């Protein structure tokens, strides 16, 4: 990956911002709609995709405060007039966002984010839609093993996230196969962090998620697995920030 691309990845991750200024990505995005009366808001799928993506990113960064604020934004995006027949689906998306808004547990938040993504997928499935069309190639490995693995973890997490939302087997499996080849060992991590028992537990969990991702076929299994896996990124990055404080 070029330096420019890597910088874009780092900027997109928000981890660096979170370390630098403590608050992370806590500000709502400028493109979001603030007028709850605005017509067509519920059907603005690009906005929904963007809003839930911000949640995924905040969680990868281990930032629960941002996650909760962003959940409010997601819920607001589903207010207003809606097409006929959408109510049952929207209720489930809103219910997941509401639980996210109030949770004070990072692991639970990660699981709720996966549930939220799956509620998007449920409506798309009911409409016989697959809303993500392309799966790009994973970023190449070039620098040190640890950074490359992190960038590939991020790529895998994004594809699997899209796999839930689209819903798309292709996207899910692309993420799962990259994840399977980027196994972090305690030695890898020990070079960057103090290997606490908590971090060792997270590593074991991610390894187990990585080994079952390719064979998880139902939406429920994938949701469960993604929540567990996302909780792993979130917890280790939070611990990392604590260690570096």
Asked whether the beta carbons of 182 and 152 are under 8 A apart, the reply is: yes
**Are 67 and 41 in contact, with CB atoms under 8 Å apart?**
no
Contact pattern for ligand HEC over residues 40 through 79, marking x by CB under 6 A: ---x-xx-xx--x-------x-------------------
Closest CA to 153 of 84, 38, 67, 234: 234
How large is the angle between the packed helices 45-60 and 145-165, nearest 10 degrees?
140
Q: Which of 55, 59, 164, 199 binds ligand HEC (CB under 6 A)?
A: 199
User: Rounded to whole angstroms, what are the CA distances from 20 to 16, 143, 176, 191?
Assistant: 6, 23, 31, 21
Tell whether residue 145 is a contact of ligand HEC (CB under 6 A). Answer: no
Question: Helices 106-126 and 219-244 sit at what angle, rounded to 10 degrees?
Answer: 150
Question: How far, in Å, CA of 12 to CA of 5, rounded?
Answer: 10
Q: Which residues contact 167 (CB under 8 A, 6 or more apart)?
A: 121, 124, 125, 130, 219
Which one of residues 131, 135, 180, 219 is an interface residue with ligand HEC (CB under 6 A)?
131
> Does position 112 bind ligand HEC by CB under 6 A?
no
Quote the radius of gyration of the chain (alpha carbons, Å): 18
Among 154, 163, 173, 227, which residue interacts with ligand HEC (rule: CB under 6 A)? Answer: 154
Dihedral angle computed from the Cα positions of residues 131, 154, 52 and 200, in that order, rounded to the nearest 10 degrees: 130
* Interface with ligand HEC, residue 213, by CB under 6 A: no
* Total residues interacting with ligand HEC, rule: CB under 6 A: 42
**Binding of ligand HEC at residue 141 (CB under 6 A)?**
no
Q: Of these, 5, 129, 140, 220, which contacts ligand HEC (CB under 6 A)?
A: 129
User: Which residue number, 29 or 129, has a Cβ lying nearer to ligand HEC?
Assistant: 129
Residue pair 71/55 in contact by the 8 Å Cβ criterion: yes
Minimum CB distance to ligand HEC smaller for 103 or for 210? 210
Nearer to ligand HEC, 103 or 209 (CB): 209
Residue with smaller CB distance to ligand HEC, 9 or 107: 9
Within 81-100, the residues that bind ligand HEC by CB under 6 A are: 86, 89-90, 93
Query: Contact residues for ligand HEC (CB under 6 A)?
Result: 9-10, 13, 15, 43, 45-46, 48-49, 52, 60, 86, 89-90, 93, 120, 123-124, 127, 129, 131, 147, 150-151, 153-154, 157, 165, 184, 189, 192-193, 199, 202-203, 206, 229, 232-233, 236-237, 240
């Amino acid at each position: 990956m070029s330096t420019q691309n890597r910088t874009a990845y780092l900027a997109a991750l928000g981890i660096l911002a979170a370390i630098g200024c403590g608050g992370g990505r806590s500000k709502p995005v400028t493109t979001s709609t603030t007028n709850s009366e605005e017509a067509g808001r519920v059907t603005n799928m690009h906005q929904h995709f963007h809003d839930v993506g911000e949640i995924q990113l905040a969680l990868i960064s281990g930032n629960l405060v941002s996650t909760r604020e962003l959940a409010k934004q997601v819920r607001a995006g589903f207010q207003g007039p809606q097409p006929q027949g959408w109510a049952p689906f929207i209720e489930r998306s809103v219910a997941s966002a509401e639980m996210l808004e109030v949770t004070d547990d990072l692991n639970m938040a990660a699981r709720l984010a996966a549930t939220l993504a799956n509620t998007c997928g449920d409506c798309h499935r009911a409409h016989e839609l697959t809303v993500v069309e392309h799966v790009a190639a994973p970023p190449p490995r070039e620098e040190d093993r640890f950074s490359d693995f992190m960038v590939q973890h991020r790529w895998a997490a994004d594809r699997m996230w899209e796999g839930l939302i689209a819903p798309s087997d292709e996207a899910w499996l692309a993420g799962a196969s990259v994840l399977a080849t980027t196994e972090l060992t305690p030695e890898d991590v020990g070079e960057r962090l103090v290997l606490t028992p908590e971090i060792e537990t997270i590593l074991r969990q991610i390894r187990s998620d990585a080994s079952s991702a390719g064979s998880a076929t139902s939406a429920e299994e994938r949701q469960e697995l993604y929540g567990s896996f996302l909780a792993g990124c979130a917890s280790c990055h939070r611990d990392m920030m604590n260690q570096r404080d």
